[in-house]
A = this chain, B = another copy of it.
Amino acid sequence: MKLSDLQFDASGLIPVTVQSALDNRVLMMAYMSRESIRLSLETGETHFYSRSRKEIWHKGLTSGNTQELISLHADCDKDGLLAVVRESGPACHTGKRSCFENFEALELE
């Protein structure tokens, strides 16, 4: 699978699920641009695109909580990615290991 095969959205982004290679925990969901994918593959550490800051974000550059990229796979529609990583420290800015650990399960009102 080549970078040019991917289906990016109108903003040039593709959603990525980040999963730990250690125990298959889903750590976070983010977005990658072509450039952040290229940087991730070239450096071996995850780079995402921040939609709020409108810039590429080298995960862990300031916190030290980097993610070593083990593999990056596209799904059958080529419009979603799965990054398997070996993480250093928590993925979430709240200090939790996974961004999905912050709240109780979703419920109807």
Q: Is the CB–CB distance between A72 and B2 below 8 Å?
A: no
Contacting pair A72 B105 (CB below 8 A) = yes
Q: How far is the CA of A105 from the CA of B74 in the complex (A)?
A: 7
> Known contacts being A17-B29, A28-B75, is A1 close to B105, with CB within 8 Å?
yes
A18 to chain B minimum Cβ distance, whole angstroms, is 9
Residues of A within 8 A of B (CB): 1-4, 6, 15, 17, 19, 23-26, 28-29, 37-38, 41-42, 71-78, 80-82, 92-94, 96, 99-109
* Identical copies of this chain, number: 2
Interface-central residue, A2, A101, A106, by most chain B CB under 10 Å: A106
B104-A77 in contact (CB<8A) = no
* Interface-centre pick from A23, A80, A81 (highest chain B CB count, 10 A): A80
Find out whether the CB atom of A41 lies under 8 angstroms from the CB atom of B76: no
Please measure, in the bound complex, the distance between the C-alpha atom of A29 and the C-alpha atom of B74, giving whole angstroms.
10
Q: Contacting A38 at CB < 8 Å: which of B1, B38, B74, B108?
A: B108
